Structure 1
Amino acid sequence: MNHGKDMKNKIQHFDPKDFEAVKNIALNFPGAEESISHEGTPSVKVRGKLMCRLHDSGEFIPVRLDFEIRDHYLERYPEIFHLPDHFKPYPYLCMWTYHYDKKLLHEILELSWKGLATKKQISEYEAEKKNNGL
Structure 2
Amino acid sequence: MTVDEMRRIVLGFPGAVEGTSYGQPAFLVGKTLFTRLRREDQSLVLMEVPFDEREMLIEAEPATFHVTAHYKDYPAVLARIDTLHPGSLHAFLERRWRKLAPKTAVRAWDAAKG
CA shift in 2, pair 1:116/1:81, >3 Å:
same
User: Greater strand share, 1 or 2?
Assistant: 2
Which one has a bigger Cα radius of gyration? 1
Letter in 1 for 2:35: C
Unaligned runs of 5+ in 1: 1-17
Which TM-score applies when normalising by structure 1? 0.71
In structure 2, the residue matched to 1:88 is 72
> How high is the sequence identity, in percent, across the aligned residues?
28
How many residues align structurally?
Answer: 112
In structure 1, the residue matched to 2:31 is 48
Deviation at 1:75, TM superposition (A): 4.9
Deviations 1:82-129 (A, max 9, x none): 111210122322101221111111111111211221222111101111
Letter in 1 for 2:104: K
Matches within 5 A, 1:1-134: 19-39=3-23, 41-67=24-50, 70-71=53-54, 73-130=57-114
RMSD of aligned Cα (Å) = 2.1
Conservation of the 8 A alpha-carbon contact between 2:26 and 2:37:
yes
Deviation at 1:69, TM superposition (A): 7.6
Letter in 2 for 1:104: S
Unaligned runs of 5+ in 2: none
